């Protein structure tokens, strides 16, 4: 099986745009302010690394960010973000471009930011640790690095198994992908039933998780490759080694295969 596969998150996000409701936007906004523990982004410069659907750049605009810069390596994601920019009335303080967090020349043109946001992105670059370093270098003094990275797990349902499943998903033709999506959804429903929860209700209310859509996230999870992962301790130790002045001020961790959320402050 070829290992040069790369999942197009942007094509997946294009299908999500017609599901972006006011309620989803409000949930996305709330996820930002809750984790940052602030009420607005007024007088803040906000960088969205791997802007994807553009939902969180749009939310930053609604929260009053003074400047917003969004970029993504996937041209389809760039188009999604431009759609959200137009939805916001094409504000002049919000710029969107195609670029990579691994491209030093591109990054040097951006400047520094009060909030550097990259949720579920850096582990898909193919060089996660370098991507984290590059993101941290963009944080202004007195600013925050807000990132989410896949947790490293072991065992039968661990990270290494999912690495192989993701490779398989990307290798399969469209029909094979749909089969894997159905199997994953069935597993999700079974897990909820075991916990005596209604899976239909869980899927219907799924947007309560950062304003996302269930099937969009299923494709995102199954197809998300390159795929790297780390424990919370590994990330914390890495930051202490390379950015000893940064302080971990908020952490939302998981024991499963999902994302650990980190908020580092650059005093």
| Burial of 186: CB neighbours in 10 Å, binned 0-12, 13-18, 19+ | exposed
pLDDT of residue 14: 63
Bridge partner list, 65: 42
Average pLDDT on 7-16 reads 64
The pairing of beta strand 94-98 with beta strand 67-72: parallel
The pairing of beta strand 94-98 with beta strand 113-119: unpaired
Q: Which residue has the higher pLDDT, 8 or 164?
A: 164
Bridge partner list, 47: 69, 116
Q: Which residues of 58-95 are buried (b: 16+ CB within 10 A; e: fewer)?
A: bbbbbbebebbbbbbbbebbbbbbebbbeebeeeeebe
Domains and CATH numbers, the chain: 9-152+228-266 (3.40.50.150), 159-223 (no CATH)
pLDDT of residue 2: 43
Q: Which two tokens stand for residue 101?
A: 């967090």
Residue 217 pLDDT level (bands cut at 50, 70, 90): confident
Residue positions counted in the chain: 267
Angle between helices 214-223 and 159-171 (to 10 degrees): 100
pLDDT of residue 12: 64
Give residue-wise pLDDT tens across range 237-263: 999 999 999 999 999 999 999 999 999
Give residue-wise pLDDT tens across range 128-171: 999 999 999 999 999 999 999 999 999 888 999 999 999 999 99
pLDDT of residue 35: 96
Give residue-wise pLDDT tens across range 53-93: 899 999 999 999 999 999 999 999 999 999 999 999 999 99
CA 215 to chain centre: 16
Residue 7 has pLDDT above 90, yes or no: no
How far apart are the C-alpha atoms of 107 and 110, rounded to whole Å?
Answer: 5
Phi-psi region of 186 (alpha: psi -120 to 50; beta: other; left: phi over 0): alpha
Residue tagged 């993504």 (tokens):
72
- Reported as half-sphere exposure (CB side, CA atoms, 13 A), residue 29 has a value of 18
Q: Which residue has the higher pLDDT, 113 or 215?
A: 113
Nearest to 228 by CA among 103, 131, 118: 131
Terminal-to-terminal C-alpha distance of the chain: 46
Q: Range with the lowest mean pLDDT among 4-13, 102-111, 209-218?
A: 4-13
Mean residue pLDDT across the chain: 91
Residue 267 has pLDDT above 50, yes or no: yes
Contact of 117 with 89, CB cutoff 8 Å: no
- pTM confidence score: 0.89
């Amino acid at each position: 099986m070829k290992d040069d596969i790369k999942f197009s998150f942007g094509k997946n996000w294009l299908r999500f745009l017609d599901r972006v409701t006011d309620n989803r936007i409000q949930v996305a906004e709330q996820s930002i302010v809750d984790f940052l523990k602030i009420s607005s982004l007024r007088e803040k410069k906000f960088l969205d690394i791997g802007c994807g659907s553009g939902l969180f750049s749009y939310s930053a605009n609604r929260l009053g960010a003074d400047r917003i810069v969004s970029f993504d390596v996937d041209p389809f994601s760039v188009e999604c973000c431009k759609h959200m920019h137009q939805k916001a009335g094409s504000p002049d303080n919000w710029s969107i471009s195609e670029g990579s967090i691994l491209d030093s020349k591109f990054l040097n043109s951006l400047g520094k930011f009060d909030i550097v946001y990259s949720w579920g992105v850096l582990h898909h670059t193919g060089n996660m640790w370098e991507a984290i370093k590059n993101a941290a270098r963009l944080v202004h003094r007195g600013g925050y690095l807000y990132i989410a990275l896949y947790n490293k797990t072991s065992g039968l349902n661990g990270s290494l198994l999912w690495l192989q499943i993701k490779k398989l998903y990307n290798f399969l033709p469209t029909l094979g992908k749909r089969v894997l999506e159905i199997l994953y959804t069935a597993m999700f429903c079974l897990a909820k039933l075991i916990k005596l929860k209604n899976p239909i209700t869980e899927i219907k209310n799924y947007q309560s998780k950062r304003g996302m859509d269930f099937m969009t996230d299923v494709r995102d999870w199954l197809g998300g490759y390159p795929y790297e992962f780390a424990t919370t301790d590994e990330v914390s130790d890495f930051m202490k080694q390379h950015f000893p002045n940064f302080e971990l001020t908020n952490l939302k961790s998981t024991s499963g295969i999902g994302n650990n959320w980190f908020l580092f402050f650059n005093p």
